[in-house]
Structure 1
Amino acid sequence: MGKGISTLLGVLGRRGFPAVTVFASVIGASFAYLAVTPRLYETSARLMLDDKKASVSELGRDLTQINSTAIGRNPLADQAELLKSQTVLQLAISKLNPPIKDSSTQKPLTASDIRSNLKVIIVPATNILDLRYQSPNPNQAAQILNAVSQAMVEENIKTISSEATKVREFLAEKVPIARQRLLQAELAETKYRQQSGVVATDDQTRSLVNSLAELENQERILAVQLQETRSRDASLRQVTDAKNINTAYASVREGQDEQLKVLRTKLTDIETKLIEARTKYQEAHPTVLDLVQQRDEIRALYGQQMARVSSSNQTANFNNLSNDQISQTLISDLITNDITRLAVENKLNAIQKMRANIQSRLALIPIQQQPLTVLTRQREEAAESLKFLQSKLEEAQIAEAQKVSNIRIIETAVAPELPTSPKRTVVLVIAGFFGSILAVGLVLLLELMDNTLRDATEAEELLQLPLLGVLPRLPATKLSLEPAEQFLDDLGLVEPYRMLLKNLEFRNVDNLQVIVVSSPLAGEGKSVIVSHLAAVSAMLSRRTLIIDADLRKPSQHTLFNLPPRPGITDVIDGTRPLLSAVQSTTIENLSVLTCGELRGRPSQILESAAMKALVAEAAQRYDLVIIDTPPLSACADASTLSQMSDGVILTTRPGFTLKEVLQRAVSELNQNRIPVLGVVVNGMTSGTEKYYRYPSEEYPSILSRPLRRLTSLGSSARNSANDSRSN
C-alpha cells in the first residue's frame, strides 16, 4: 500500500506540470466558453383550451365546442402548431411596440426568429399549453411571449367570428327565398279556394293528405341526403382514388397492419440508400447490388404479408395504402358514406312505394278536396321553414357580434431574473470531470511512452546493483570548481558526494584506490561527478588524482580552468614523467592529469602497456585515483580502463538514461567480468525524488562557516601518514 502511494506520488511529481496544464486548459476553455456564449433568459406563459359553451346562442356554442371525435386527432396538438404559424407570429410582431430587433443581426424581428426560440409543450392530462421563449434580453422575452399569447387568442376569436359570418350570410340569402315560397303557397291556396269553393275536408281526407305530405317531406329530405351522400362519395373517391369499397377496405386493413408498416419503413430506407449509392457508384458496384437484393427481399416479404392480411382477392397497391391517419380516416368515411347511401336509397324506395299507395287511395277521394289539402300543407311547411331560417339567422348574428373564444390566457410571461443558459455550475463540473480524465490520461500516456529511468528506487530494482548515492542537480554556477569555495562551502551539495565516498569505502573492505567512472550515454554528468567527488575526497585530506581518459571529448581541464597539456599523451609517449605531467588545482590535495595533445588513436593509447604503468604508478602515489572515461555505448575505453581499476561506477540521470541502454551496459560489464561497484543517480531534485533530503534544509546554521575549516583539524595527521607511505 505504501509503495503504491509512493509510486503514485512520484508519477504526479514527474508529470505534475503537463497534467496541471491540461486540466487548467480545459477549465480555461470552459471559462472562455462561459465568457463568449451569450446568456439566454427563458420565460413561460400558459394557455387553456376551454371545453365549455361560452356563447349564449346555440350556433355560437357549436362553433366554440372542441371537436375531438376524429380518430387520432388531438385539438391541443392543432393549437400548438397554430401557435407557430406565420399568421399568429406576424400578428404578434405587429403588437410589439416599439418594434424589437434581433440581438445578433440587429434586424427587425421576423416570424422565423420567434419560431426558432419558441417551444410549445402540451401539459399531460390537461387542456393547457405551456409556452416557453428564450432571448438574450429577459424583458424582450416576456414582451414577445405575451404578444404571441394575445395574438393566439385574437386569431381564435377571428376564426370563430369568420365562421359565424359565413353562416349568417348563407341564412340571409335563404330567408327571402323561404318568405317568397310561403307567399306563393298562400296565394295558391287562396286561389284554389276561390275557384273550387271548398272550405273544409273530412277527417279521413285530412289524415291521408297529412300522411302523404309527411311522406313527401321525408322523400325530399331523403333525396337531399342521397344527393349529399353521392356528392360526398364522389369527392372521397376522387381524394382516396378508391375504385370500390372492397379495395378501400383492404387498403385500410393493410395500412393499419404493424408488420406492413415496419416493412414499408425498411423499404423506404433501402430505396433512399439505393438512390444515394447510385449517385456514387456504378450499377454493378457491390454496394448497389447488395441494396437492390435487400430491396427485392423486402418487397417479397411485403407481398407475402399483404396476401396474409387481405381477406379477399383484392389487394391494395403499395402506393395506395392508407398508412397514415388522415388516409385511414378518409377511407373510413368513404365506407361509412357508402353504407349510408345504400340505406338512404332503400329507405327512399320504401317511402316512394308508400307514397304511391297513399296517392292511389286519395284518387278515390273527391278531386276538389285533395288539392286543397295539399295546398294547405305546402303553406304550413313554407311557414315552418321560414320560421326556422329566421331563428338560425338571429343566432348567427348573435354569435358574430359576441366575439367569443375557446382559448384563454391563464398565466402571463414575466421577465426572468436569472439566465437559464449556459448553466455555469454544470459547465464547470463537466469541464472539471473531463479535465481530470484528460490529465490522468496524459499522465498515463507519458508514463507509457517514457522509457527513461525515473528515480533511484527504479535504478536499484532494475539493475540489482548497490545504490552508492543520489546526487543533486548542481546549479550552472557550481559546475566548475573555480573557485572551489562555491561548492565546498555548500553543505547541501557536498554531503551527497561525501555519502557517495563513504558508501564506496563501506562496500569495499579492501583498499579502494583506482575507480573508473562512466555512464551508458553521454550527457549524464559523469565528468562533473568525477571532479566534484575528487574535490570532496581532497577536502577530506585524501591525496586525490583525476585522470581525464576521455580522449575524444575531454572536459576536466575546463572544469578546473587548466590548460589541456601536459597530460596523458605526454606521459604515454615518454615526453614527461607522471609527476611532471600532473597539474595542481586550487583545492589542496587534488591534482588533475588532463588528456594532453592527442597523438594517435585513443584506443591505441589506452590499450598500451604504458597506460597500465601510468595507472599503477598513480595508485602508488595517491590515496584515490578517479578515471573519467567515455560513455559505455560510445566505445570500449571504459571497459578497457576498468580492467586496470578496482571497479567501475555507473552514472545515470533520471528522465534521460534509457533503461534498455543501461541494462545492456551492465550486462556487457558482467559478461566481461568487470566489477561494478554500484550505481550513482545524478541530477535529482525534490520534485523527482522525495526520499533523499539534503541537509541544507535541516542544518542551516552550519552553512555560516566554510566546510573546509571543519576538516582542517585532522589534515596534518593525515598528510604525515601519506608522506610516510610514499617514502
Structure 2
Amino acid sequence: MNQPSNNIQYSEHADFSQYWLMLKRRGIPAGLTFLAVLSIALLQAFQEKPIYEAIGQLKFEESQRSSKLIGLDSAVDEESKQQSSLRWQRSLDTEILSMKSPVQLNMLSSIIESQGLFSRPSIEKMKSGLEISQLADTNVVQIRFKSYNPNFSKEIVNQLMQQYVENKPKSKQASTHSAISFIEKQLPQVKQRVNTAETALRKFKETYQITDLEIAKSANATNLSQLQTLLDEIDRELVEVQTQQLKLQNMLSLNPKQALIGISTSHTSISTSLEEIDKQIAEAKSNYQQDHPFVLELLERQSQLNLLLSQKIDQSTQSNAQLNFVPNQKDDLRSQLIQLDIKRNGLSQQQLKLRQQLSRYRQQAKNLPQLEQRQKELERTAKASTSTYQNLLVQIQELKVTENQSPLTVSVLESADAPSPSKTTYISASMRGGLAGILLAAGVVYVLERIDRKLKSKDEIRQVYPYRVLGEIPLFSESESELSKLPTLLNPSSHFSEAYRMLQASLKFLGLEQSPRILMITSAIAQEGKSTTCANLAVSLAEMNHRVLLIDADIRLASQHHIWELRNQEGLTHILLNKHIEEHQALPTHQVMDNLEVITAGRISSNPLPMLESEQFASFVQMQINKYDYILIDAPPLVSVADPLVIGKVVDGILLVARPGHLEREYAQKAHELLTHSSLAILGTIINGIIETNEPYSYYSHYGRYTSQDETISKNGLIKEVIVR
C-alpha cells in the first residue's frame, strides 16, 4: 500500500539530486554570476542619492444640485439622475487628468520661475516626478512629487494645489457660460426639427387614413376571412344553379332567351315574383350596405323580372304544340329556366365584385408592413427630436442656476511639509540583488547545460548505452595521473585497483554458456581511456594467475608502448606482414610482469584495415588462444574508423569504454547504432573516469582507500624490476 508513496518520494529525491548535480557542475559560473549581480545591486544602493517625496492632499466636495434648488427634481427622470451620479463618480478622474495636463504644468513652471527660488523646470521633469491619485472610497486627491531637492518637492506640491484651487472657480464659470451660449444657439434648430418630424407624421396618417395600424391589420384580416367565406358560398351556389339550368335546357331544348320569348306565364305570377323580390331587397338593405354583393344580386333579379313583365305585355302567346307537356307545366319550366338564368347572372356579378374586393384587401394587407415601418421611423424621429429638445431645456435651466452658484468646491486638506529623505537600504538592495542573482545564475546553469552535449554521469551513459555495466572506474586526480596510468600495478591497495578487480570479476559472472576469452576493448571516440582500461584489466587478470596476452591493434594511434614504456620497432604489423604466426619464439612480445605479455602495434600505418581484415590476423588470434587464458585487444574508436568492426568478427565479445564528461551524446548514439547494425557480441560497458561531483553518491573513498606515500613504488623502478625478472 505504501509503494506509490515511496515511488513519489524517490522521484522527488532523484529530481532534486539532478538539480544539485547541475549546480555542482556549473558552480563556478553560477557563483560568479550571483556575486556579480549582488555586487552591482549593492554598488547602486551605495551610489544612490536620497530622494525627497513631498505629499499634499486636496478635498473635493459636490455643490448642491441646481435642479433641486429650483424645484425641478420632479421634472428630471430617473435615468437622468443616474447619469448625473455617474458623472460625479468620474469627476475626480477628470480633475486628476486636468491637474496633469501640459497647460497646468506650464503655468506651474512659470510660477516657480517667477518666485526666483529655482530655475524654470521642464514639463518632462515635472511629469516624471509627479504622481496624483485618489484615495480609496474618498473624495480626496493625493499629490506626490519626488526629487533630489526637498524644498523643490515641497514647493511644487504646494504651488500646484494653490494654483488649482484659485483657478478652478474661474474656469468652471467660464465653461458654464460657454455651455449656456452653445445650448441657446442649438434650441431653435432642435425645435424646428421637432416640428418638422411631427408634421411629417401627421401628414402620413392623413394620407393613408391610419389611426391605429394594429386595429387596421386586425380589421383587414377579418374582412379577408369574411369575403373568402362568402366567395366560397357563392361559388358553390353558382355551380348548383348552372347544373339545374343545364338540366332544364336539355328537357326543353331551349336556351334562356328562347324560353323568355315563348313563355306564357301570367302577369300575376310575375307580379308575385316581383313582390317577393321587393321584400327580400328591403330586408337585405336593413342588414347590409348598398354595395353588398347580396343586395346587388337581388336588384339584378328585380330588373330582370321587370324586363320580363314588360315583354309579356307586348308579346303574344304562341303555340305550345311542339312540346309534349301540359301547357301550364311547360310555362312553369320555362319560368324556372328564366329564374335560374337570372340567378346565375346575379351570382356571376356578385362573384366578380367579391373577387375585386378580395384583391383590394389583399393588396392592403401587403402594404400594411411597409406603412407600419414608415410610421415607426417617423415616430422614432419625432421622439428623438422631442427628447433632445427636452434635455436641452433641462440642461440650460441647470446651467443658468449653476452659473450664479458656487461650482465644485476644492480645498486644501493637507499642505506639503519638508519631506524626509528616502533611500534604498542595503538590506533591501541585498535581497533584490540576491533574488536577481539567483534567477540569473539559474539561467546561466540552464543555458550551459543545454549547450553542453556531453554525457556527464553514469545514468546518462546508461540511457544511451543499454548494455550491462561491468565496471565503474573513478577519475584519476592530477597527482594520481602524474604518478602512473597503471594503478593496479603500482598501487594495488588503491580504490582504482579495486575497481579493475571488480571489472575482471564481473567478466566471470556474465552468465554465458562459454566464458569469453578473446576480448576487444574499444570506445566511441578517442581520449575515453580505453587503452588505460585495457592495460589495467590485463594486470588484474594476470594477478589472478591467468595467462594474458595484450595486443595493441590501434595501429593508427598506438599507445600501449607508451603506457608500458616499451620499444615499438616491431609489433603486430611486423607479425602480419612477415607471417610470423607459427613460431612463438619469433613473436615480438614483451613480458611486462608474471603471466602478462604485450604485443605493441609496431610500425604506424595510415591504412591498417587490409591487414586487420586478412586471414593472417584471424588465424594469429585463434592460434594464441591455445597458449593464453585471455587475449585482450586494444582497438581504435568506433566512430572514427572501421577497424573495430573488422576486429570484432574474430573476438568473443566487446567491452565498450565510455567516459562521462568527455563523450558527447551524438557520438554515443552513433556508436550504439554501429554496434547494433553490425550484430557483434557486446558483453557490456565500462564507465571510465567517473566524476564524483557529477554523481549523486560515491562509495570509492569510503572503504579500502590506502595512499601512504611511504609505500608508493616508483613506476619506472617497478616496471624495470618486473622486466628483469
TM-score computed with the length of structure 2 as normaliser: 0.54
Name the SS of the counterpart of 1:654 in structure 2.
coil
Q: CA deviation at 1:81?
A: 5.4
Measure, in 1, the Cα distance between the counterparts of 2:460 and 2:656: 15
Q: CA deviation at 1:407?
A: 2.7
> Of the candidates 117, 120, 129, which is equivalent to residue 132 of structure 2?
120
Measure, in 1, the Cα distance between the counterparts of 2:592 and 2:455: 36
Per-residue CA shift, 1:677-719, capped at 9, x if unaligned? 2211122111233344324x5445554454779xxxxxx9x99
> Contact (CA 8 Å) 1:491, 1:707: kept in 2 or not?
no
Measure, in 1, the Cα distance between the counterparts of 2:498 and 2:115: 84
Per-residue CA shift, 1:306-350, capped at 9, x if unaligned? 998984546999xxxx9xxxxx8x994467769999xxxxxxxxx
Measure, in 1, the Cα distance between the counterparts of 2:611 and 2:468: 32
Aligned CA distance change for structure 1 residues 128 and 688 (closer, same or farther; 3 Å): closer
> Contact (CA 8 Å) 1:249, 1:331: kept in 2 or not?
no
> Contact (CA 8 Å) 1:582, 1:591: kept in 2 or not?
no
Letter in 1 for 2:602: G
Q: 2:255 matched to which residue of 1?
A: none
> Contact (CA 8 Å) 1:41, 1:134: kept in 2 or not?
yes
Q: 1:44 matched to which residue of 2?
A: 55
Q: 2:262 matched to which residue of 1?
A: none
> Of the candidates 689, 696, 706, which is equivalent to residue 690 of structure 1?
696
> Of the candidates 15, 21, 27, which is equivalent to residue 8 of structure 1?
15
Letter in 1 for 2:673: R
Q: 1:178 matched to which residue of 2?
A: none
Aligned CA distance change for structure 1 residues 332 and 638 (closer, same or farther; 3 Å): same
Letter in 2 for 1:496: A
Instruction: Output aligned runs, 1:236-635, within 5 Å.
Output: 236=183, 238=185, 242=189, 244-246=191-193, 311-313=379-381, 332-333=391-392, 407-419=411-423, 424=429, 427=432, 431=436, 435=440, 438=443, 442=447, 446=450, 453=455, 455-457=457-459, 459-460=461-462, 465-475=467-477, 488-489=490-491, 491-507=494-510, 513-538=517-542, 542-574=546-578, 578-584=584-590, 590-597=596-603, 602-635=608-641
> Contact (CA 8 Å) 1:83, 1:152: kept in 2 or not?
yes
Name the SS of the counterpart of 2:503 in structure 1.
helix
Q: CA deviation at 1:88?
A: 4.9
Measure, in 2, the Cα distance between the counterparts of 1:129 and 1:241: 41
Instruction: Output aligned runs, 1:219-234, within 5 Å.
Output: none
Aligned CA distance change for structure 1 residues 438 and 705 (closer, same or farther; 3 Å): same
Name the SS of the counterpart of 2:692 in structure 1.
coil
Aligned CA distance change for structure 1 residues 306 and 657 (closer, same or farther; 3 Å): farther
Aligned CA distance change for structure 1 residues 234 and 455 (closer, same or farther; 3 Å): closer
The share of aligned pairs that are identical, in percent, is: 21
> Of the candidates 90, 109, 126, which is equivalent to residue 109 of structure 2?
90
Aligned CA distance change for structure 1 residues 610 and 337 (closer, same or farther; 3 Å): closer
Aligned CA distance change for structure 1 residues 482 and 25 (closer, same or farther; 3 Å): closer
Q: 1:660 matched to which residue of 2?
A: 669
Measure, in 2, the Cα distance between the counterparts of 1:620 and 1:462: 37
Q: CA deviation at 1:618?
A: 3.6
> Contact (CA 8 Å) 1:46, 1:411: kept in 2 or not?
yes
Q: CA deviation at 1:496?
A: 1.4
Name the SS of the counterpart of 2:693 in structure 1.
coil
Name the SS of the counterpart of 1:627 in structure 2.
strand
Q: CA deviation at 1:140?
A: 3.9
> Contact (CA 8 Å) 1:521, 1:657: kept in 2 or not?
no
Letter in 1 for 2:18: V
Letter in 1 for 2:118: P
Measure, in 2, the Cα distance between the counterparts of 1:501 and 1:248: 114
Measure, in 2, the Cα distance between the counterparts of 1:333 and 1:148: 36
Per-residue CA shift, 1:387-407, capped at 9, x if unaligned? xxxxxxxxxxxxxxxxxx963
Q: 1:291 matched to which residue of 2?
A: none
Q: 1:105 matched to which residue of 2?
A: none
Q: CA deviation at 1:628?
A: 0.7
Measure, in 2, the Cα distance between the counterparts of 1:335 and 1:18: 77
Aligned CA distance change for structure 1 residues 81 and 561 (closer, same or farther; 3 Å): same
> Contact (CA 8 Å) 1:470, 1:692: kept in 2 or not?
no
Name the SS of the counterpart of 2:495 in structure 1.
helix
Aligned CA distance change for structure 1 residues 541 and 608 (closer, same or farther; 3 Å): same
Q: CA deviation at 1:34?
A: 7.7
Measure, in 1, the Cα distance between the counterparts of 2:33 and 2:375: 64
Letter in 2 for 1:146: N
Measure, in 2, the Cα distance between the counterparts of 1:155 and 1:701: 93
Q: CA deviation at 1:471?
A: 1.4
Letter in 1 for 2:56: A
Measure, in 2, the Cα distance between the counterparts of 1:69 and 1:507: 91
Measure, in 1, the Cα distance between the counterparts of 2:399 and 2:16: 88
> Contact (CA 8 Å) 1:566, 1:597: kept in 2 or not?
yes
Aligned CA distance change for structure 1 residues 81 and 314 (closer, same or farther; 3 Å): same
Per-residue CA shift, 1:91-129, capped at 9, x if unaligned? 6514766426xxxxxxx5234422442223334565533
Letter in 2 for 1:99: F
Letter in 2 for 1:45: G
Name the SS of the counterpart of 2:18 in structure 1.
helix
Aligned CA distance change for structure 1 residues 126 and 701 (closer, same or farther; 3 Å): closer
Aligned CA distance change for structure 1 residues 598 and 131 (closer, same or farther; 3 Å): closer
Aligned CA distance change for structure 1 residues 522 and 306 (closer, same or farther; 3 Å): farther
> Contact (CA 8 Å) 2:180, 2:399: kept in 1 or not?
no
Measure, in 2, the Cα distance between the counterparts of 1:239 and 1:637: 102
Aligned CA distance change for structure 1 residues 6 and 665 (closer, same or farther; 3 Å): farther
> Of the candidates 641, 662, 671, which is equivalent to residue 647 of structure 2?
641
Measure, in 2, the Cα distance between the counterparts of 1:703 and 1:495: 16
Measure, in 1, the Cα distance between the counterparts of 2:374 and 2:420: 57
Measure, in 2, the Cα distance between the counterparts of 1:477 and 1:442: 32
Aligned CA distance change for structure 1 residues 666 and 689 (closer, same or farther; 3 Å): farther
Aligned CA distance change for structure 1 residues 706 and 313 (closer, same or farther; 3 Å): same
Measure, in 1, the Cα distance between the counterparts of 2:11 and 2:398: 86
Q: 2:154 matched to which residue of 1?
A: 142
Q: How many corresponding residue pairs?
A: 494
Aligned CA distance change for structure 1 residues 130 and 666 (closer, same or farther; 3 Å): same
Measure, in 1, the Cα distance between the counterparts of 2:443 and 2:591: 54
Tell me the C-alpha RMSD between the 2 structures.
5.6
> Contact (CA 8 Å) 2:488, 2:540: kept in 1 or not?
no
Q: CA deviation at 1:526?
A: 1.5
Q: CA deviation at 1:472?
A: 2.0
Q: Which runs of 5+ in 2 are unaligned?
A: 1-6, 65-80, 198-372, 401-408, 715-720
Name the SS of the counterpart of 2:549 in structure 1.
strand
> Contact (CA 8 Å) 1:571, 1:578: kept in 2 or not?
no
